[in-house]
Amino acid sequence: MEIRDHELWKLLEQKSEGEKAAEQAFEEAVWQICGYGITLSKTIRDTFQTYTLHDETHICNVMTIMLKLLGNLKDCLTKEECAMLIMSACCHDIGMSASEEEKEYLRSCPDCMQEYLDKHPGDYTIAYQGGADENAQITEEILRHYIRVNHHSRVSEQLQNIQWPAALGHSMNIEELIAVCQSHGEDPSDIRRLQRFAPNLDLYLCAVLLRLGDILDFDATRAPDELYRYINLARLDGMENKISRLEWDKHQASRGFTFVQDEQCTLLYRAECSSIQVERAIVDYLDWVDKELTACGKLIRYMESRWRSLMLPGRVEKQITARGYLSGEYTLTLDQDRVLDLLVGRELYSDPAVFVRELIQNAIDAVRTRRQMDKNLPRNWKPQINIRTWVDDEGYYWFRIEDNGIGMTEETIQKYFLKIGHSYYNSDQFRADKIRCGADSEYKPISRFGIGLLSCFMGDPKNNQVEVTTKHFMENGVRHPAYRLSIKGINGYYYLANDTEQRTTAMEMPDCPKKGERFISAPGTVIAVRSNPYQSGGAQSFKDIIDRYVLYPEIPVHYEGIEGVCDYRTEQEFMDAVHEITPYCADGDYQPVQRIYMPEKDLQQFQQRYPEVVWEEKPRLAVYCLPVD
């Protein structure tokens, strides 16, 4: 179907009846914009050869769904609204079109893509393999990722290339078309920011219809078998092509949506799937559609009064037929409570005090990493870890560790600290941060597994408690707030506050140096754990546990507790002491520091094995001390 054969175009013609010359000029102006959008949409496959169709088929499908969403209210559309819906359907995806000149410009001007790279650490790491001081190397894959993610905002670049027809000048402007097109790729709440200038043009309505029309175009018409075979997608390797294959499989299995005209405004969806993987991918997509329908339904209240009776579908009724397999939840599942109980229970770890090792290890990593990444370290900054233990008024034992390392942002807390097994130091984000901060490419932290928080509950999952305050160091001139996190038990939700919004109302930290202290003031992290050390493998105190794990650390560790005060000798201090007791000769040889007579038992065994050896005097063992640095 061509655009001018579509019912929505016929509706535009009907609404345009009047002065023939003026209305014909208006329709021609609309067609001028549409023709431009259709032409660019056809070139999307030049860059995205394995994507489902974004051509005139998709455009007509979107327009059809717009009218179905309106139902009997379609006659309430004004001429201007018909025009906006048609033009936005034709132009909303043109940001995915990119000429060779545009691509070359993006490759040669990586600064244009810097914001995207900063938000996508995987691509950032690839682009800056040579270091942050070098120009970003924009690969074809990164270029496609950038265009796809930003295609809605790129509509502005594409539409600014055209001359806005004078016949449309009094009814609408190009900025309004751009805003509607861009809104389909933004958060639904952003639609409320649209500005309406003309009384006959409800931009809220147009944006909602475009968004849902685009989302609900989900059937086999966008994934023809002939094209699938032509591009030979089934044989192409790589993650991008794997994702594309799944998209094609989803569309080919889909029979589309049916709008049922009943009181509930039911939206019926049908599909025939040949694999459970495709079925689950479709179900995930439909779950997202449900959320979009709910979000868009809330926007009706902001539309003009003539649209207040518009009823959008509330949810999707799914009818998915399985061909050749049993449909169901046949997958490995986790009982979260039971798994957490298992991980923190005695069945898996014999030593509940392993959290002491984990927290000390994490603190050392945080300080070492800051020394690598913070290029604005104060001159008087010295790496330091402080540990304090005490018994509170209720008889609970506390272990508190404080470091002046990199600290955490809210994102780090959510994505890594609270996500078991997801280590920041093993992430694309950390690799990108290393490059961005000019850290040593070979630098690797000690921590690998991301179980630091979980280990704090291994002794007693119900009664143990973790209190945290943290502040990320100032990176690239950006100051970060301090955060206060309280975790009582391994289940449920946790308390989080920051010193920007809850400076005086947040919970206090245990054992504060200053009364009423809630947040750490300098970059670093403080973690206080309520636990029982006497459950810990026969250890008599936290000091015994610390002695077991802290052996000549790279970072100075200071301890204060019931057992007294202790400063653990660092690795450098140990090596200095080794050099002091090691006699060293000018010729580069070392002298023995001690000679010990061979034990009688060892001497007898030696003589039995080598009877031909005769000793003039009892042999001695020469002990050398060789500094390994």
Q: DSSP of 582-627, one letter per residue?
A: S-B-TTS-B--SEEEEPPHHHHHHHHHH-TT---SS--EEEE----
Over 80: is that where the pLDDT of 585 sits? no
- Give the burial string for 521-557 (b: 16+ CB within 10 Å, else e): eebbbbbbbbbebebbeebebbbebbeeebeebebbb
- pLDDT at position 350, please? 59
Among candidate residues 189, 161, 2, the one with its CA nearest the CA of residue 95? 161
**Residue that wins the pLDDT comparison between 241 and 408:** 408
Rg, C-alpha atoms of the chain: 34
Beta carbons within 8 Å of 220's beta carbon, 6+ residues apart: 251, 252, 253, 254, 255, 256
Measure the CA–CA gap between 598 and 593, rounded to whole angstroms. Answer: 16
- Residue with structure tokens 């579509």? 6
For 508-553, give the DSSP string: PPTT-SSTT--S-SSSEEEEEEEE-GGGSTT--SHHHHHHHH-SS-
The rounded distance, in Å, linking the Cα atoms of 626 and 578 is 8
Q: Return the minimum-mean-pLDDT range out of 161-170, 452-461, 538-547.
A: 452-461
Residue 526: name the closest of 512, 537, 541, 538 by CA: 512
Q: Helix, strand or coil for residue 433?
A: helix
Over residues 163-172, the mean pLDDT reads 87
Question: Which of 111 and 304 is assigned the larger pLDDT?
Answer: 304
Average pLDDT of 459-486? 86
pLDDT in tens, 535-567: 655 556 889 889 988 999 999 999 999 889 999
Mind listing the pLDDT tens digit for each residue in 114-159? Answer: 889 989 999 999 999 888 778 888 999 999 999 999 999 999 999 9
Query: 239-253 and 276-297 are packed helices; what angle lies between their axes, rounded to 10 degrees?
Result: 80
Asked whether the predicted pLDDT for residue 523 surpasses 80, the reply is yes
Q: What is the arithmetic mean of pLDDT over 352-380?
A: 89
Q: What is the reported pLDDT for 154?
A: 94
Each residue of 49-99: pLDDT tens digit?
888 889 999 999 999 999 999 999 999 999 999 999 999 999 999 999 999
Kindly state the average pLDDT of the residues 22-45.
91
Query: What's the whole-number mean pLDDT along residues 479-489?
Result: 91
Q: Between 153 and 623, whose confidence is greater? A: 153
End-to-end CA distance of the chain: 78
Count of CB atoms situated within 10 Å of the CB of 78: 16
pLDDT of residue 474: 85
Q: Is the pLDDT of residue 451 over 70?
A: no
Those residues whose C-beta lies under 8 Å from the C-beta of residue 101, and which sit 6 or more positions away, are none
Total-model pTM: 0.79
Percent pLDDT > 70 in the chain is 92
Q: Are 252 and 223 in contact (CB under 8 A)?
A: yes
